[in-house]
Chains A and B, each alone.
Chain A
């Protein structure tokens, strides 16, 4: 089914916002109902298009946060300062409002749960979104290969999906969630308190012989450090899949 879905011509569809959840001060999850939606694979994204009254159009890509089995399509969007699209999506779009989207798009940065290899996920900021789709899929599909998420945020209030990740990890001995707080740490913080580096990756990652499937998503600078750090540890480049957001995220 998904195979044909992927090969279908990409068309713009009308999506209706049915719910919105504030994740952090700058981040909101948007739940959409999309007519004739064909389903997606964890890691894929959609293109969103907004059209102003004067006909001006702006288009952006957003990762899908929901699991394929979820009833509706969820995107999680971070409001970027000076952003043209994201502040509108985070602060203004209200239930009942419609926008155009197309997808799902992408087939490379995808984890479908069929691989028996352990799953290593590394995220910076809203880079956690496509990885969350993978973890949600892993949780509901019962394909519980060992999984680790190394997730870097500025401070404790910036952690997206914090409660859900905590619940997931508490209920699942094969899932480990390791938070990195680079700028602000709460009193008594025992987790990592520096930017992700090679030494941290050596502690968190399985050895290369594990042939772990690795997905790295975040700002370009973080992705560069993580990808080269993992290659230095001996992980095969073709197992390290990256999704760079550019300098400021998207």
Chain B
């Protein structure tokens, strides 16, 4: 099985990210430190076939965010994330 088949979307990280952030993070916009593309977190490529969760830029493929949860703590690596813009109120509101 090649890596492409294991690819998921930012949606797959929504629950884990909500353990760390109080806002719904899939509507946040992350800027890639490598290529500077700005992408909604929900559209990032997610891989879960690792000890943690890896989020990659869909434009250049660089790792933007890594989160590992083990025992009683989280490790969050953000070196590939230049900026994270978090809307205070998510765009989709009450229908």
B residues in contact with A243, CB < 8 Å: 9, 11
Closest to A242 in B: B9
A172 to B60, CA, bound (A): 43
A7 contacts the other chain (CB 8 A): yes
Decide if A47 touches B9 in the complex (CB within 8 Å).
no
B15/A108 in contact, CB under 8 A: no
Q: Are B11 and A112 in contact (CB under 8 A)?
A: no
Report how far A169 CA is from B62 CA in the complex, Å. Answer: 43
Candidates B5, B8, B43, B48; contact of A241 at CB < 8 Å: B43
Tell me the chain B residues, 1-33 only, with Cβ under 8 Å from chain A.
1, 4-12, 14-15, 18-19, 22-24, 26-27
Q: Is the CB of A6 within 8 A of B90?
A: yes
A1 sits at the interface (CB 8 A) = yes
The 8 A CB mask of B70-85 against A (1 = contact, 0 = none) is: 0000000000000000
CA distance A19 to B22 in the complex (A): 33
Determine the residue in chain A with the shortest Cβ distance to B93.
A3
Is A246 an interface residue when CB atoms closer than 8 A count as contact? yes
Q: Is the CB of B10 within 8 A of A108?
A: yes
User: A10-B15, A10-B18 known; A107 and B95 CB under 8 Å?
Assistant: no
Q: With the chains together, A83 CA to B1 CA distance in Å?
A: 18
Q: Is A191 an interface residue, CB under 8 A from the partner?
A: no
Q: Which residues of A contact B8 (CB under 8 A)?
A: 220, 244-246
Check if A148 is an interface residue, CB within 8 A of chain B: no
- On chain A, the residues within 8 Å of B7 by CB distance are 220, 224, 244, 246
CA distance A2 to B90 in the complex (A): 9
Cα-based distance from A84 to B90 in the complex (angstroms)? 33
For the complex, what is the distance from the CA of A47 to the CA of B91, rounded to whole Å?
A: 22
Instruction: Decide if A147 is an interface residue (CB 8 Å cutoff).
Output: no
Are B12 and A1 in contact, CB atoms less than 8 angstroms apart? no
Which one of A98-106, A182-190, A204-212 contacts B?
Answer: A98-106
A45 touches B95 (CB 8 A): no
Chain A residues contacting B26 (CB-CB under 8 Å) are: 106-109
Nearest Cβ in chain B — how far from A111, in angstroms?
Answer: 8
Contact with B along A216-250 (1 / 0, CB 8 A): 00001100100000000000001001111111000
- 9 A-B pairs with least C-beta separation: A108-B42, A108-B26, A107-B24, A2-B94, A107-B27, A105-B14, A10-B18, A47-B15, A112-B92
B residues bordering A, Cβ < 8 Å? Answer: 1, 4-12, 14-15, 18-19, 22-24, 26-27, 40-43, 48, 89-95
> CB within 8 Å of B: which residues of A?
1-3, 6-7, 9-10, 41, 45, 47, 61, 68, 102-103, 105-114, 137, 141, 143, 220-221, 224, 238, 241-247
A selection of 14 A-B contacts at a CB cut-off of 8 Å is A1-B94, A2-B95, A3-B89, A3-B94, A6-B90, A47-B15, A68-B95, A108-B26, A108-B42, A109-B11, A114-B95, A220-B6, A244-B7, A246-B7
If A7-B24, A108-B11 are given as contacts, then 13 extra A-B residue pairs at C-beta distance below 8 Å, sorted by A number, are A61-B15, A105-B15, A106-B24, A106-B26, A107-B42, A108-B26, A109-B26, A111-B92, A220-B6, A242-B9, A244-B8, A246-B7, A247-B1
